Amino acid sequence: MLDDRLISLLDTITIINVGSRKVDDEDIFAKWGSQLGSKLKIIGFDADEDACEMANHMASSQPWHEEHIPLIVAEREKEATLYVTSNPCCTSLYRPNLDYLSQFPTFVNFFEVDYTLDVTTTTLDKWASSSGVSSCDFIQTDVQGADLDVLRGASNLLNSVLALKVEVLFAPLYLEQPLFDDVNSWLLERGFTFFDFDPIGYYRRVNIERPSRHQLLWGDAYYFKLPVGLERSQLVKLAVIADILQFHDFAAYCLEKIPNSTQPTTFKDFKP
């Protein structure tokens, strides 16, 4: 749990969550809210207007500010096709690669296209400019292969971002989608450092007589700005974000870089 002294130094931590559908009533930022309370602001985007309405209803009783906006954000403003799949969580601006996915019988049906929609995309930078939002501390994306497109459309906003959680794909689950190498290279060029990822893999067969390793297909990758040249307020935010995401060693490292600190090694030792 974060030390109250550290939280007292915060103004607001702003999160942008692209692909903000809440699955099975899961509140993925409840941990953030339980520690930050009114100092947390979440802005979510999802293609599904009903999903946004449900998410806004769930957030209405929370002590933090949270809103979900039914916009499709991508690399630029354009007309596009949305491929709506049998499992809504697999819906994407990229067509599912069913030839490849057919290797994995346990979930290929999730990616079957029920229908398509003609949609108009916008960008995070365009939305931010029109909404008077000048900065953001943390971005999370989960948009089924279109994550790099979202980030490319947020080049200006990324200047203020301290950390990211990005869904990355290691296999061509969608046609012509960017892969992890593409996302990683692009973010490294913009001053972010890759830390770790939560991997997800699947088997091609379900009845194997001996233990078998599976193929890694996708995962959530974590990136941070390093605490070089950051202002005091940014260092505090970076430490808080790292600690909530359980990168406790990096959080302590960030605390050491805060001017006039007492070289703490844990939040408990931090003296503002």
E-strand stretches of the chain: 13-18, 40-45, 65-69, 78-85, 113-121, 138-141, 163-169, 192-202, 215-225
Q: What's the rounded Cα separation, in Å, for the pair 29 and 168?
A: 20
Alpha helices in 120-176 (DSSP H): 124-131, 147-152
Query: For the chain, how long is the longest CA-to-CA vector?
Result: 60
What is the DSSP secondary-structure string of 72-102? -B-SSSEEEEEEEESSGGG-BSS-B-HHHHT
DSSP letter at 268 equals G
Residue 203, pLDDT score: 87
Please identify every stretch of the chain with a pLDDT value under 50, giving residue numbers as ranges. 263-265, 272
Cα four-point dihedral sign 260, 262, 263, 264: negative
Residue 91, pLDDT score: 96
Contacts of 7 (CB under 8 A, 6+ apart): 35, 36, 39, 240
Q: What's the rounded Cα separation, in Å, for the pair 230 and 194?
A: 18
Cα four-point dihedral sign 8, 10, 12, 13: negative
Instruction: Tell me the backbone φ, ψ of residue 20, rounded to 5 degrees.
Output: -95, 10
Q: What's the rounded Cα separation, in Å, for the pair 87 and 91?
A: 7
Selection from 120, 119, 184 nearest residue 148 by Cα: 184
Which letter, b or e, does each residue of 230-269 get, where b requires 16 or more Cβ atoms within 10 Å of its Cβ?
A: beeebbbbbbbbbbbbebeebbbbbbebbeebeebeebee
For 95, 127, 270, the CA distances from 166, given in Å and listed in that order, are: 20, 20, 30
For 9, 125, 136, 176, 245, the CA distances from 39, given in Å and listed in that order, are: 10, 23, 13, 40, 17
What is the token pair recorded at 246? Answer: 């359980």
